[in-house]
A and B are shown apart, each in its own frame.
Chain A
Amino acid sequence: MLKKFASVAGALALSTALVTPAMAELSGKLRIMSDMSNPAPRAIMEGLAADFDAMHPDLEVEVEIVDREAWKSQIRNALTADAPDVINWYAANRMGPYVNAGLFEDISDMYANGDLPGLDSVKGAMTLDGKQWGVPYTYYQWGIYYREDIFKELGLSEPTTFDEEIANCAKILESGRKCYTIGSKYLWTAGGWFDYMNMRTNGFDFHMQLATGQASWTSDEVRATFANWRKLIDMGAFIDDHQTYSWQEALPFFVKGEATAYLMGNFVVPHLREGGLTDDQIDFYQFPKIADVPMGEDAPTDTFHIASAAQNKEAARAFLQYVTSADVQTEINAGSGLGQLPVNSASSVDDDEFLNQGFEMLSNNATGGIAQFFDRDFPAEMASIGMEGLQEFMVFPDNLDDILNRLESARGRIYK
């Protein structure tokens, strides 16, 4: 800590650093541009900035919050013209365009010299070209959220294998319900299903080979994935007309009990509770095993980065340290805040039925590896063409050959 500080503030400040915390010497202005625009995350972000501001009397912290969806295209302008110091983005491949264009600051040294304790397990998701480009601040599990009360009523238990899953589904269908709700209008929900089908059928490593363009879409492995998926589709396991609904519009099927399960990220839980379901009625299980491969899981990670054109990089680095420190991580990811999982291994997970199960699953039963999500692991263009094909497959499974050939030719063009 002292060594780093000396290089930052010079020898004169060193003497004061011995008596006050090193970061107290930060001065000037720290500009943060954040996409945490939903009410709860917004409060967290504003709280973080205010606290950081209070910790450093000479530093002025300025936060600008941009709509989360709009940010996905605005980040380009933000980083190129009058860049802020700290910005929000996503882990893994999604960082690619900005890393390649030299717009994200390389912070490998912070990981190397121990400025970011407790982040070793998430370092991989921040690594591109062997360097680290930012820090995560929250992540969440994916999995199957189901109606515990209906499972009880039908005498079903949480399945651990795909055969059990199918047997359960047959009974659910018999009772006049659908097994899964899904709204695929905006495509990405179908990407979640493919992630799990493929990771369970062929394993995490193959899934990543497909994501990085090394494996072929017309391979036997991919066909096996779709064959497994088709078993569910042919049973009529998914709700009808899902291509017309957004993921929120698919929620009422679950809440009303017309469909018993939802493959989703943990962010679905507050919506289910708001819909009037109690925790006795909802439960969670890990996507069941299909082939005998280590289980891979989707756990999308949201991140902070420093712009390479930042004006106040010292303050920006200190802010990243602050956000990822164990206590702050515990606090912002608690149920009263983001309601997600902390990235620091020294933090504690809030005592919530779903967070506990998710944390347990990701820590102990995700031996295959942790993926980000279809549209974050695959390059953007492949993801958009891919998800469109997945949606088409879910509606017209007979078009599979045509879809796979299309994806394969897109693969030939996109990965060069």
Chain B
Amino acid sequence: MSTANQSWAKRNRMTITPLLFLLPGILFFVAYVVFPIFQSFNISLYEWDGLGEATYIGAGNYQELLTDRNFEISLWNNVKWLVLYLLAIPAGLLIALLLNQTVPGIRLYKSLFFFPFVISQVVVGLVFSWFYLPRVGLLNALLTSLGLESINVLGDPTLATYGIIAAGLWPQTAYCMILYLTGLNAVDPEQVEAGRLDGAKGVKMLWYVILPQLRPATFIAFVVTIIGALRSFDLISIMTNGGPFGSTRVLSFYMFEKALSEYGFRMGYGSAIAVVLFFIMLFFIAYFLWSMYRDEREARR
């Protein structure tokens, strides 16, 4: 009996070993990621303050979401973030192309450009909110010296979200830049040479020769930027705290406010928002996974 077992384990060890190595990771992933997702689904069907009895209200929370103007504002702000945050990719590429040269001291310039990504988002938020300050901020000093009207970026409900996105673009551009810089190192000089012989120059060279070789870097930049946009929480919390009058909230911030902040503790409603956010993320994540799977299959062929 025991020998049979041993031989079974021996025969299958090529399968068992990786599974065993994966097991701790999978256990943690199930306990801390998969299980809470289903738990959120469940809580979103209840009205619960986190302390007392939870009452089942079916789709009640979702019905309320449909008529909740703050939810609508948050959703639109998420869309703004998603679209405008992508600007970090071309901007990062541009800076990477600029810095991809061999001049003395280029390492210093590279590190300076990378600097905003290293410092904490909280610091970025503080720096930008000082920059935007209504009377003494640098931005308004600049505007008034040019003879323009001063503006209160973070106090104006139509501008505030864009002001925060601009702050977010600063570190995100640096991140994309570093991805492209490493990508540019891997560009095949022979292909560039060949392109040059065929008369490709400037934009054409970039578009047809360089960019296709940067595809992996672009893909990763796209992934981290989309995820960064959906996770935009700390900047909002630091710079406006969701205000003025809730005009800069995004879904993640609204969820936090409703479920966990000082005046919140509507766990069911917060979970319903989280579920919506989850499906938005799932859409992108599914696309990323699918395209990675496709690339890998092509590579294997």
Interface residues of A (CB under 8 A from B): 69, 72-73, 76, 80, 97-98, 100-101, 103, 185-187, 240-241, 243-244, 375, 380-381, 383-384, 388-389, 391-392, 395, 406, 413
Contact = CB atoms under 8 A, between A and B. Distances in A.
B52 A241 contact: no
A381 B154 contact: no
User: Sorted from nearest, which 3 A-B pairs have the closest CB atoms?
Assistant: A384-B263, A101-B51, A241-B134
A391 B244 contact: yes
Q: Which of A98, A100, A395, A406 has the most CB of B within 10 A?
A: A395
| Contact-residue size bin, chain B (C-beta under 8 Å from the other chain) | 20 to 34
Interface in B227-273: 240-241, 243-246, 257, 260-266
Contacts of B261: 73
Given A241-B155, A244-B134, A380-B263, 9 more contacts: A69-B262, A76-B265, A100-B51, A103-B51, A243-B245, A244-B155, A384-B264, A392-B245, A395-B155
A146 B133 CA distance: 25
Given A240-B134, A406-B69, A97 B51 contact: yes
A361 to B, nearest CB: 29
Contact of A395 (B52, B64, B154, B244): B244
A186 B262 CA distance: 12
- Do most interface residues of chain B lie in helix, strand or loop, or is the interface mixed? loop
B241 A185 contact: yes
Nearest to B153: A244
16 contacts: A80-B51, A97-B265, A101-B49, A103-B51, A185-B241, A185-B243, A186-B241, A241-B135, A243-B155, A243-B243, A244-B155, A375-B263, A380-B265, A384-B263, A391-B244, A395-B244
Contacts of A80: 51
Contacts of B100: none
A71 to B, nearest CB: 10
A395 B158 CA distance: 13
Contacts of A243: 155, 243-245
B245 A389 contact: yes
B216 interface: no
A73 B262 CA distance: 6
B152 interface: yes
Given A101-B52, A391-B245, A380 B240 contact: no
Interface in B29-66: 49-52, 64
Contacts, number: 68
Contact of B262 (A380, A392, A413): A380
B47 to A, nearest CB: 10
A346 to B, nearest CB: 35
- Do most interface residues of chain A lie in helix, strand or loop, or is the interface mixed? helix
Nearest to B269: A381
Contact of B133 (A76, A101, A244): A244
Contacts of B50: 76
Q: Which of B52, B241, B245, B246 has the most CB of A within 10 A?
A: B245
A388 B157 CA distance: 13
Contacts of B64: 413
A69 B152 CA distance: 28
Interface in B192-230: none
A98 B69 CA distance: 30
A100 B244 CA distance: 33
Nearest to A392: B245
A406 B263 CA distance: 18
A383 B241 CA distance: 16
Contacts of A413: 64
Contacts of A69: 262
A185 B160 CA distance: 13
Nearest to B51: A101
B210 to A, nearest CB: 44
A388 B245 contact: yes
B262 A72 contact: yes
A121 to B, nearest CB: 28
A177 to B, nearest CB: 15
B243 A388 contact: yes
B244 A76 contact: no
A178 to B, nearest CB: 12
Nearest to B129: A244
Contacts of B266: 381
Contacts of B133: 244
Nearest to B152: A241
Nearest to A80: B51
Nearest to A187: B243
B52 A100 contact: yes
Contacts of A240: 134, 152
Nearest to B260: A73
Contacts of A381: 263-264, 266
A388 B134 contact: no
B251 to A, nearest CB: 17
B264 A185 contact: no
Contacts of B263: 375, 380-381, 383-384
Q: Which of A72, A97, A243 has the most CB of B within 10 A?
A: A243
Contacts of A392: 244-245
A187 B290 CA distance: 45
Contacts of A97: 49, 51-52, 265
A98 B154 CA distance: 36
A98 B265 CA distance: 12
A406 B262 CA distance: 21
A217 to B, nearest CB: 16
